[in-house]
Each structure stands twice: as C-alpha cells, then as structure tokens.
Amino acid sequence: MELNAIRDGKIKCLPGADLEDADFVGADLRGINLAGANLTGANFSRANLERAHLEGANLMAAQLIGTDLRAHLLGANLMQADLTGADLRGSNLRGANLMTAKLIQASFAGAFLSGANLTNGNLQGADLRGADLRGVNLTGANLLGADLSYADLTGVLLNQANLEEADLQGANLAGANLTGANLLCAELAGANLTGANLTGTCLLGAAV
C-alpha cells in the first residue's frame, strides 16, 4: 500500500500526488517532496515535515496540529487548515493562502510570509517574532497575545484585527492599515507607525 510506504519513508518523491484525506499522524516525513500534491483534508498532526517540499500543495482543511512544518510552502493553499501549535519557524510561506486557518500558538519566528493571505485567521498567541509579513492581508485576524516583536509588517492590512495584548515591540508597521483594529494593552515600544492608518484604532493601555 502506497500510504504505508510513504509513512515508512520508502517513497519520498510524490509531486502532484492525490492524497486527499490521507492519514499521516505522527509520521516522519522529513524532506518529502509533495509539491503541488492534493492533500485536502489530510491529517499530518504531530508529523515531522521538516524541509519537505510543499510548494503549491493543496492543504485545504488539512490537520497540522503540532506538526513540524519547517518546510517549503511557497504558494501553498492552507485555507481552513488547523495548524494549532505547528512549528513553522523560518518557513517560506510567501503568497500562501491561510484564510480562516487556525494558527493558535503556532511558531512563525523568522518565517517568510510576504504576500500571504491570512484574512480572518486565528493567530491567538502565535509567535511571529522577526517574521517577514510585508503586505500580508490580516484583515479581521485574531492576534490576541501574539508576539510580533521586530516583525516586518510594512503595508500590512490589519483592519478590524484583534491585537489585544500583542507584542509589537520594534515592529515595522509603516503604511499599515489598522483601521478599527483593537490594540488594547498592546506593546508598541520602538514600533514604526509612519504612515499607518489608525482610524478608530483602540490604543488604550498600549505601551508606545
């Protein structure tokens, strides 16, 4: 059976494969090539996908809970996927679709997300320290308590986003759209807000 062979690490090269709803819970899939594969609804929870090639893969509604996803995800579709607690440190997620994805407590430190779409994503408590978030769409996203310190948020769309208690220390928010965003008790020391739109933004208790 092909699935067992993949799980056992015997098959490593599967670009464009159709693995919809496949079960890879806890599997060691380091370095696997699944670029452009159909992985809709697949379950990779607690699997190890370090250095895997997932460029352009369709991971819509996939389960990636606690997964080591320090992988190549350029242009991947992760819409509605569950990435709770996933490890995405330093990953390339440029142009990826993460609309309404669940990213609670996920680690994105140093990741590259420029041009990604995170509209209405749930990033509560996520670690985005030093991440490249230039031009990312975070409209309506929930970033309660997220750590965005020293992240590059140039031109980011954060309208109606929840940034309550978020850490934006040293972050670059030049030209960001924060219309109607909630920054209650957020940390903004050393943040660059040049040209940012703060119309209707709640900044109570924020440390500027």
Partner 1 sequence: MLPGSILQQLAIAHEQSPRPLRFGVYYKNTLVALCHALEDSILSSHSQPLVIAAFQRGKWYLQEAERYQELAAESRQVVIMAAAESGFFEHSTSQLANVALVDLDPTDPVAQEWHLIILSPTYTAMVLCQELSPSDYGAAGLPKTDLERKFYGFWTFEPALVQEIVELAIAHIGKYNPSLQQTLTAQVKDIVAAGDSPLPEDLSGIVSRVVDYLQISQEDLIANQHPEVAAAQQPVLDVNLVSNKLQAFVRMAQLIELVSTGNPMATSEVAALAEVMGQMLDLPAWQLKRLKLAGWLHGLVALPITENLVVSPFPSCSLVSEVQALRRMPRLQAIAHIITHQTEWWNGQGIPAGIAGEAIPLESRILGLIAHFDRLVNQFAQELPNSPPQEIWQQALGECQTEAGDRWEPKLVETLTLLVMGMQQGLSLPIAPPKITSGIWLLDTPQAAEIHTAEANRNYIYGT
Are the C-beta atoms of 168 and 190 separated by less than 8 Å?
no
- Dig out the tokens for 39 from the structure: 């992985």
Q: Cα 71 from chain centroid? A: 12
67/154 with CB nearer partner 1: 67
> To the nearest whole angstrom, how small is the minimum distance from the Cβ of residue 82 to partner 1?
14
DSSP for the chain reads -HHHHHHTTS--B-TT-B-TT-B-TT-B-TT-B-TT-B-TT-B-TT-B-TT-B-TT-B-TT-B-TT-B--SB-TT-B-TT-B-TT-B-TT-B-TT-B-TT-B-TT-B-TT-B-TT-B-TT-B-TT-B-TT-B-TT-B-TT-B-TT-B-TT-B-TT-B-TT-B-TT-B-TT-B-TT-B-TT-B-TT-B-TT-B-TT-B-TT-B-TT-B-
Choose, by CB under 8 A, the member of 11, 12, 23, 26 that binds partner 1.
26
The residue type at 101? A
Stretch that binds partner 1, among 33-41, 114-122, 131-139, 178-186 (CB under 8 A): 178-186
By the rule CB under 8 A, 172 interacts with partner 1: no
Stretch that binds partner 1, among 12-20, 32-40, 51-59, 183-191 (CB under 8 A): 183-191
> To the nearest whole angstrom, how small is the minimum distance from the Cβ of residue 36 to partner 1?
27
Overall size of the chain counted in residues = 208
55/87 with CB nearer partner 1: 87
Q: Cα 118 from chain centroid? A: 7
Q: Under rule CB under 8 A, which residues in 36-65 are in contact with partner 1? A: 46, 48
Contact flags string 125-164 toward partner 1, x per CB under 8 A: xxx-x--------------xxxx-xx---------x-x-x
17/163 with CB nearer partner 1: 163
Choose, by CB under 8 A, the member of 77, 100, 182, 192 that binds partner 1.
182
By the rule CB under 8 A, 104 interacts with partner 1: yes
Interface residue list for partner 1 (CB under 8 A): 26, 28, 46, 48, 66, 68, 85, 87, 89, 104-105, 107, 125-127, 129, 144-147, 149-150, 160, 162, 164-165, 167, 169, 180, 182, 184-185, 187, 189, 200, 202, 204-205, 207
